[in-house]
């Protein structure tokens, strides 16, 4: 895997995640008891979902920070000889050009790496898990008790509508074809 200088921080987060899963993580995912067990279990699962998301987000931030530092390092190498205490406008323009080019180059190298696509895939997944959890909890704890329609309810109606609309279109097409056939048959001269 490509190196972008963030391996130690990555290791730290991986270790932290493992320790969490072996300790507190076990506590929050253990079965619950009593009349409110279903709600409690869902609530506790959310804690892990959030931590997974947070951990992936931090890894992503660290990666970007490392790439930024790498770009800055490259930049200072390129500019150290060129700026030469010259404060003219053209030098600033050249400095900006070097900055944009170096950053684009370094970030593009990172963005096309296996590390980025893999970490980005994980981040999106854990973000979606967390978002879904938040939505489910909101529906469960606020909308349902207030007897308000949820997104799940609306999706069900939309699905019914989709199927109905598709069926109607298909039937309309068939009717059109049949009536066209009948019309053609009607104008045929009798033999």
Residues that bind another protein (CB under 8 A): 87-89, 92, 96, 100, 103-104, 107-108, 111-112, 116-118, 120-122, 124-125, 128-129, 131-132, 135, 151, 155, 158-159, 161-162, 165-166, 169
Minimum gap (Å) between residue 103 Cβ and another protein: 5
Minimum distance from residue 22 beta carbon to another protein (Å): 25
Q: Which is nearer to another protein, 50 or 107 (CB)?
A: 107
Query: Residue 151 — φ and ψ, nearest 5°?
Result: -65, -35
CB of 8 or CB of 158, closer to another protein: 158
| 110 within 8 A of 4, measured Cβ to Cβ | yes
In the complex with another protein, the residue whose CB is nearer, 40 or 79, is 79
SS3 breakdown of the chain: % helix, strand, coil, rounded to 5?
Answer: 85, 0, 15
Nearer to another protein (CB atom), residue 26 or residue 166: 166
Rounded to a whole number of angstroms, the minimum distance from the CB of residue 125 to another protein is 5
If the CB atoms of residues 19 and 172 are measured against another protein, the closer one turns out to be 172
Residue 10: strand, helix, or coil: helix
State the nearest-atom distance from the C-beta of 163 to another protein, in Å: 8
The CA distances from residue 88 to 44, 97, 131, 162, in Å, are: 60, 15, 50, 65
Cβ 111 to another protein, closest distance in Å? 6
Residue 63's CB: how many other CB atoms inside 10 A? Answer: 22
Q: Which residues contact 71 (CB under 8 A, 6 or more apart)?
A: 102, 103, 105, 106, 107
């Amino acid at each position: 895997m490509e190196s972008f200088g963030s391996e130690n921080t990555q290791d730290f987060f991986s270790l932290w995640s493992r320790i969490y899963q072996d300790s507190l993580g076990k506590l929050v995912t253990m079965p619950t008891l009593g009349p409110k067990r279903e709600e409690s279990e869902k609530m506790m699962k959310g804690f892990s979902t959030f931590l997974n998301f947070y951990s992936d987000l931090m890894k992503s931030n660290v990666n970007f920070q490392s790439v930024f530092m790498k770009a800055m390092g490259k930049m200072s190498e390129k500019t150290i000889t060129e700026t030469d205490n010259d404060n003219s406008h053209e030098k600033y323009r050249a400095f900006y050009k070097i900055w944009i080019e170096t950053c684009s180059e370094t970030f593009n190298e990172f963005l096309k790496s296996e590390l980025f696509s893999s970490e980005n895939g994980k981040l999106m997944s854990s973000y979606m898990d967390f978002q879904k959890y938040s939505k489910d909890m909101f529906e469960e704890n606020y909308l349902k008790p207030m007897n308000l329609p949820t997104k799940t309810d609306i999706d069900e109606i939309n699905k019914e509508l989709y199927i109905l609309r598709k069926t109607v279109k298909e039937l309309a097409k068939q009717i059109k074809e049949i009536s066209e056939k009948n019309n053609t048959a009607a104008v045929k001269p009798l033999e």
